């Protein structure tokens, strides 16, 4: 049994087919093929006492789960948090003006004022927004993470930011994440690989000038892209250069999103379905960090090993030495990188485009990306060291 944060996951094998029971506090979920799920449920009733009725996700059924509605239509499973968002906005509509917003946020100003009584109410709404951003609405993850930094010292600028976010959600309450199912045997045996898009906004946090790291993790099989994880977080210290910010961001995305996703996918589908064994691709629109990683060393960032635990050699072992499987670094154009939505506010048009791109990255795996290792072998070693 594997402990994954607040949940417990166990891989259960029945007649050669795996199912995954997941326990979250007092709610549970069992994922797998229908017949095998029913077999596991029967075994659980024989071994455990439960006072809850088991709900099966059949076509057309709606199952409430932790504020969301889980549905299945044909080959698509959907987590729908739209009702939760509407309720949240209605409960706190006094914080929003009459005019709707076309995007979640602008950068707040640095003006401050303390209202201790207000902070308690703010913690509640920010906590609900964090749940929405983490489960069914990745496009607001950056905005919610930004506002959450002010809960202990609420200020006028954060109040305006919260009001804008609520106005945006009132105008756009639709909050869903969909997971396509591979229906025929040929699709089920198709190769699977992990793709991570990452980005960094250097010194983008105005009060402290810290950088922001963002990444999106996808599992890809045939034509099907499935977003399974995402993150938007402020870096711990101020970076003295864009290169340092990029390297720290790459380290966070690799060890926080990429390798855990690789391990989980291997655990669920087996190595035989991973392309060439264990296969994953890291996409970015940043070159200097890739050069350092492919060289395996840079004196300019050696101090990060002590100050932040970020070592170039660790990334070299992942992507160049291939110690964790066939892991690649690939360069992708900035306009094709969906991770940008997790690092900075975007204008209305760019935000709409980024939301669409987040559902399915618009890149060609065969020709739209460049294998960073092949390209960087053409560079002179040490040029950027």
Q: How far is CA 339 from the centre of its chain?
A: 9
Cα dihedral 334, 339, 345, 347, rounded to 10, equals 50
Q: What share of the chain is helix, strand, coil (3-state, %, to 5)?
A: 40, 25, 35
Per-residue pLDDT of the chain (385 residues; tens, 9 = 90+): 333 444 444 556 655 567 777 777 777 788 877 888 888 888 888 888 877 788 888 877 888 888 899 998 877 889 999 999 999 998 887 666 666 677 787 755 544 444 444 566 789 999 999 999 999 999 999 999 999 988 888 888 888 899 999 999 999 999 999 887 666 666 667 778 899 999 999 887 777 788 999 999 999 887 788 999 999 999 988 888 888 898 999 999 999 999 999 888 887 776 666 655 557 899 988 788 888 888 888 888 888 888 888 888 889 888 877 766 678 888 888 888 999 999 999 989 999 999 999 988 876 544 333 444 454 444 433 333 3
pTM: 0.82
Residue 208, φ and ψ in degrees, nearest 5: -120, -10
Q: What is the pLDDT of residue 108?
A: 52
Q: What is the pLDDT of residue 12?
A: 61
Helices (H), 172-311: 185-188, 242-253, 259-269, 288-295, 304-307
What is the spatial distance between Cα 174 and Cα 100, in angstroms, rounded to a whole number? 15
Residue 372 has a CB neighbour count (10 Å cut-off) of 24
Q: What is the pLDDT of residue 187?
A: 64
- CA count, 13 A, side-chain hemisphere, 14: 18
Q: What contacts 377, CB < 8 A, 6 or more positions away?
A: 294
Q: Where are the domains of the chain?
A: 1-54, 82-171, 190-376
Burial tier of 232 (Cβ tally within 10 Å: 0-12, 13-18, 19+): buried
Q: Under CATH, what is the fold of the domain 190-376? A: Nucleotidyltransferase; domain 5 (3.30.420)
Residue 30 has a CB neighbour count (10 Å cut-off) of 21
CA distances for 28 relative to 9, 53, 269, 289, 332, angstroms: 10, 11, 21, 41, 39
Residue 322 has a CB neighbour count (10 Å cut-off) of 12
- For 59, the token pair is 């076509």
Q: What is the pLDDT of residue 6?
A: 43
């Amino acid at each position: 049994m594997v402990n994954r944060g607040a949940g417990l996951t166990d891989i259960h094998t029945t007649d050669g087919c795996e199912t995954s029971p997941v326990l979250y506090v007092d709610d549970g979920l069992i994922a797998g093929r229908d017949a095998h799920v029913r077999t596991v449920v029967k075994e659980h009733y024989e071994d455990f006492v439960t006072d809850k009725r088991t709900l099966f996700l059949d076509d057309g059924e709606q199952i409430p789960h932790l504020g969301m509605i889980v549905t299945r239509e044909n080959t698509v499973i959907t987590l729908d948090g739209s009702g939760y968002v509407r309720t949240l906005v209605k409960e706190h509509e006094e914080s929003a003006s009459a005019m709707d917003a076309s995007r979640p946020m602008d950068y707040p100003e640095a003006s401050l004022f303390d209202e201790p009584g207000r902070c308690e109410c703010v913690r509640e709404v920010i906590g609900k927004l964090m749940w929405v951003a983490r489960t069914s609405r990745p496009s607001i993850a950056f905005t919610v993470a930004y506002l959450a930094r002010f809960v202990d010292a609420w200020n006028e600028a954060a109040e305006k930011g919260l009001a804008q976010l609520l106005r945006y959600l009132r105008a756009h309450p639709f909050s869903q994440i969909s997971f396509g199912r591979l229906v025929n045997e040929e699709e089920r045996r198709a190769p699977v690989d992990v793709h991570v898009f990452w980005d960094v906004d250097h010194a983008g946090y105005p009060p402290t000038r810290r950088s922001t790291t963002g990444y999106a993790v996808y599992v890809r099989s045939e034509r099907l892209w499935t977003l399974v994880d995402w993150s938007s977080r402020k870096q711990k210290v101020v970076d003295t250069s864009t290169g340092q910010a990029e390297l720290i961001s790459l380290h966070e995305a690799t060890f926080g999103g990429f390798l855990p996703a690789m391990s989980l996918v291997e655990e669920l589908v087996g190595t035989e379905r991973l392309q060439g064994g264990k296969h994953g691709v890291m996409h970015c629109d940043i070159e200097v960090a890739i050069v350092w990683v492919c060289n395996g060393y840079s004196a300019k960032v050696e101090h990060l090993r002590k100050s932040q635990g970020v070592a170039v050699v660790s990334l070299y072992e992942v992507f160049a030495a291939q110690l964790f499987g066939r892991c690649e670094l690939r360069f992708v154009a900035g306009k094709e990188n969906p991770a940008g939505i997790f690092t900075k506010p975007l204008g209305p048009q760019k935000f709409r485009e980024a939301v669409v791109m987040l559902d399915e990255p618009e890149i060609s795996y065969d020709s739209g990306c460049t294998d960073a290792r092949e390209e960087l072998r053409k560079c002179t070693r040490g040029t950027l060291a």
